[in-house]
Amino acid sequence: MIGSYSPRPNLAYRAARRLFALVAALLFRVRVMGMENLPICADGTPAGGWICCGLPHRNWVEPLLMMCLLPAEPRLAILADGRTATGSWWRRRLVGIVGGVIPIRGRGSPRDFAGYADEVRRVTAAGAVFVIFPEVGRPSRPPALRRLSAGVGHFAKAAGAATVPVIFGGTHELYIRRRLEVRVLPALEPPDAGPEGVDAWLAELQETAGRGAAEAHQAAEADPPRFKLGRWLTGPYPRAE
């Protein structure tokens, strides 16, 4: 991972989080529901050591919202595409300062998966929050989700960590003052032992998140504006048909 495994955010992380919150407030109308479903400690403070599962991932805005809406501490450690996170000198510099990024550099081999599973265990054991956007495959028409990678189930099993689905609605089409819905769903306990346990866990996540995505999409699409200004904010993201 780039940066420390500590759950305590550094000054750069806090600054980036405040900047993202300002951007979200200026550009969009964001409504968040279900924050009471986030894990907490016995003293009522936010707990770490869990997996945050973002669904659906259709645009650039979901990681930004994830970072600025979830508690600053424990901090997030995000599994991200290596080319996106470190593809230029300024991105490498920024990620190096803020930290909290696990870049995906290779795919497919058991060694790759074992390495990422070890990262998940180290993040959650340290008391930070591991963030993954687990959809794979072809774009889907909102509100349908894409297929979920079995990797998220194996990560949860390997770390023995609860998984909290965070659902987004309205991110498939961005414009100024766009209504965005964010729903935090109840946590799923780690999968049972054996491949059947992971399969059943993944099916439950797909069904639960699918219902949440349909509700969030419907709420985001209610009472659309007559004119959509700034539609260039959507960008070249083919994650919705």
Over range 75-104, report the average pLDDT.
85
% of the chain at pLDDT higher than 90: 78
CA distance 151 to 50: 15
Reported as a pLDDT band with limits 50, 70 and 90, residue 93 is confident
Pairing of strands 101-104, 178-184: unpaired
Backbone angles phi, psi at 28, to 5 degrees: -130, 170
Over range 168-176, report the average pLDDT.
97
Contact 62, 145 (CB under 8 A): no
Least confident stretch, 78-87, 130-139, 168-177: 78-87
Write the DSSP string, 104-137: E---SSHHHHHHHHHHHHHHHHHT-EEEE--EES
**Residue 20 CB coordination number (10 Å):** 18
Name the packing angle between helices 110-126 and 151-159 (round to 10°).
50
Contact 205, 152 (CB under 8 A): yes
Closest listed residue to residue 143, CA positions, set 163, 164, 175, 167 = 167
What's the pLDDT at 68? 95
What's the pLDDT at 194? 79
CA distance 72 to 112: 30
CA distance 86 to 146: 25
Over range 80-103, report the average pLDDT.
83
Reported as a pLDDT band with limits 50, 70 and 90, residue 106 is low
What's the pLDDT at 236? 87
Reported as a pLDDT band with limits 50, 70 and 90, residue 148 is very high
- pLDDT of 151 > 80? The answer is yes
Least confident stretch, 8-17, 151-160, 182-191, 230-239: 230-239
Reported as a pLDDT band with limits 50, 70 and 90, residue 107 is low
Closest listed residue to residue 180, CA positions, set 166, 165, 163, 198 = 166
Over range 153-170, report the average pLDDT.
97
